[in-house]
Amino acid sequence: MLKVIVTRLMAAVPVIIGASFFVFAMMSLMPGDVADMLLDEVTASPEQKEALREQLGLNKPFPIRYVKFLSGAVRGDLGRSFVSNRPVLEEVMEQLPRTIELAVAGMTVAIALGMTLGILSAIRQNSWIDTVSMAVAMVGVSMPIFWLGLLLILVFAVNLRWFPALGQGSPRSLVLPAVTLGTLPAASIARLVRSSMLEVLRQEYMVTARAKGLREQTVIVRHALKNALIPTITIVGLQLGSLLSGAVLTETIFARQGLGQLTVSAIVRKDFPLVQACILVTSIFYVLANLLVDISYAWFDPRIRYE
């Protein structure tokens, strides 16, 4: 198992480097001049702007700037912010716990809601429960995050006043953002759990389990659900990584601080080092989520062996 983990981590290195190169290139191609944004575009002289570009290293060719960034990243130095002049890693680490909190809460909602709808829909196939569950899942897949967030604010914050509309700091302020962020993955999980459960329920060993006199609850939980979880684990791992990127819209709608808000503000200000650090951290979380998915396969299915 250790060999597999090390191999997967080494295979993830080119992915992270590729993501950093893509972001670095895109930021370099963006129109506008950082010197004009940091200095007064009207009163600053061309000499002052050129001196600032030289100080920030923006006058060097793209390959040299990218290699310098990579060499610093290997040492744990992702550079300093153009705007605040602080190490960008410090700024990212300040906001990362808030985004992780939101992502974990959103994934909790997604798993609880998605698994419940999927299981009920499978064991009550072609009933009204199945129809309602899949209708809810279809709405969840189709509704954009920003529209759902605004709708929840209007209903539960403005009209009913059950939860605060904006901000953070209390568990109540986390409810609406978590539901907003978790609804889309919940719909995907529900549909996949339903199809997986239906396939497992048709297997012959399910008939054998019932013939042995086991209770229906035991048959569903210990036999059907456990075998249907293998494909579900895959989508849960992928959704966990995507929740970090989905947090950008959610944090903006609910005025929450976090990695998403930090990334958006850094892009607007053309703070290249900060944008690169945010994307790099997000890429690492994607890689770790996929690694956890691979490892969890062996726990849910003893037939899977890593050599």
| Predicted local distance difference test score (pLDDT) of residue 43 | 63
109-133: b (≥16 Cβ within 10 Å) or e: bbbebbbebbbbbbbeeeeeebeeb
| Predicted local distance difference test score (pLDDT) of residue 32 | 65
CB within 8 Å of 20: residues ≥ 6 apart: 69, 70, 73, 276, 279, 280, 283
Domains identified in the chain and CATH numbers: 97-258 (1.10.3720.10)
Which pairs with CB-CB distance under 8 Å and at least 24 residues apart come from 63-69?
65/24, 65/28, 66/21, 66/24, 69/20, 69/24, 69/273, 69/276
Both tokens of 184, joined, read 């889309």
Q: Which residue has the tokens 């690694």?
A: 291
Neighbours of 306 (CB within 10 A): 13
pLDDT in tens, the chain (307 residues): 666 667 777 777 787 788 778 877 877 777 666 666 666 655 666 776 677 677 776 777 778 888 887 887 778 777 778 777 788 888 888 888 888 888 888 888 888 888 888 888 877 777 888 788 888 778 777 777 778 888 888 888 888 888 887 767 777 888 888 888 888 888 888 888 888 777 777 766 666 766 766 676 677 766 677 777 777 777 777 777 667 666 777 877 887 888 877 888 887 777 778 887 888 887 777 777 777 777 776 666 655 554 4
| Predicted local distance difference test score (pLDDT) of residue 107 | 84
Q: How many residues does the chain have?
A: 307
| Predicted local distance difference test score (pLDDT) of residue 101 | 84
| Predicted local distance difference test score (pLDDT) of residue 129 | 80
pTM: 0.76
Cβ atoms of 189 and 235 within 8 Å: the answer is yes
